[in-house]
């Protein structure tokens, strides 16, 4: 489905981002993988090439730096002309981000990575999608983007903001045949889940039995391509079964 398409995936070196990149690779996409960890990016690129990707490029970028984000967009357009698919997956969180605890500087970093960077990349890459009258933008939100949780105020705010941005972008870009999809995953078995099990081994059975896999979320993202041009999945929430409380990003 994606042969000849260039897809840029932030946070594409591990977890959900790598699973999305691999799903795209299996459909013949060419990929631009973005993260801060150069070694992990190299491993992800190798896996995507083996899975069938047309070409794979990597960019080591700190998405909290707007100048670096601008450079990423500029380099991507110089390389491929048009980014056909943009996946804003990278996210940042800290344990304490409520009105009563946490470092406001960390709040700013969450806003920069979780919200400002996707907005900036969309603004820089969407005009070319409109020009070619074709494109897909997938924003990775969270269940916290649908229902805030005590103790996760700043993170929830960024994900609510991302949902709002997605809806506005969809209204603006849909007439130009550009789909904008916002995905809200619940608990996924990623590095965060593994760390929680290390901290509390009693969680291991719950985590392994109930949590979704990154591949589940990647398959959800494929709805944007499996549906016709007349259909745009705008908000998609995917939850583990049965839901695990409390949720965490």
Q: What is the dihedral of CA 8, 39, 3, 90, to 10 degrees?
A: -30
**DSSP conformational letter for 241:** S
Bridge partners, 212 (sequence order): 188
What residues contact residue 157 under an 8 Å CB cut-off, 6+ apart? 111, 148
Q: Which of 144, 155, 189, 248 is catalytic?
A: 155
What are phi and psi for residue 203, nearest 5 degrees?
A: -80, -10
DSSP 65-102: -HHHHHHHHHHHHHHHSS-SEEEE------S--SSSSS
Rounded to 5 degrees, φ, ψ at 150 are -60, 135
Return the number of other C-beta atoms located less than 10 Å from residue 123's C-beta. 12
**Residues in CB range of 181: below 8 A, 6 or more apart:** 136, 137, 138, 139, 166, 221, 223, 224, 232, 233, 234, 236
Is position 155 annotated as part of the catalytic site? yes
Grouping H, G, I as helix, E, B as strand and the rest as coil, residue 4 is coil
| Active site residue ranges | 155
């Amino acid at each position: 489905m994606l042969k000849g398409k260039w897809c840029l995936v932030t946070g594409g070196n591990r977890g959900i981002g790598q699973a999305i990149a691999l799903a795209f690779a299996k459909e013949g996409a060419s990929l631009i993988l973005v993260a801060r960890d150069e070694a992990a990016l190299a491993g992800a690129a190798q896996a995507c090439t083996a899975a069938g990707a047309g070409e794979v490029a990597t960019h080591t970028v700190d998405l909290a730096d707007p100048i670096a984000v601008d450079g990423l967009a500029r380099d991507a357009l110089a390389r491929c002309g048009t980014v056909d698919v943009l996946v804003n997956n990278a996210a940042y969180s800290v344990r304490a981000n409520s009105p009563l605890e946490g470092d406001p500087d960390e709040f700013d970093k969450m806003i920069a990575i979780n919200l400002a960077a996707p907005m900036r990349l969309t603004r820089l890459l969407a005009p070319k999608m409109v020009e070619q009258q074709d494109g897909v933008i997938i924003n990775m939100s969270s269940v916290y983007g649908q229902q805030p949780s005590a103790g996760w105020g700043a993170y929830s705010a960024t994900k609510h903001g991302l949902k709002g941005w997605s809806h506005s972008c969809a209204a603006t870009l849909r007439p130009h045949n550009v789909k904008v999809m916002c995905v809200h995953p619940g608990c996924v078995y990623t590095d965060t889940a593994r760390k929680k099990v290390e901290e509390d081994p009693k969680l291991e059975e719950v985590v392994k039995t109930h949590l979704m896999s990154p591949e589940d979320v990647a398959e959800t993202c494929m709805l944007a391509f499996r549906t016709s041009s007349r259909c745009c999945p705008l908000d998609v929430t995917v939850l583990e079964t049965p839901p695990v409380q409390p949720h965490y990003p």
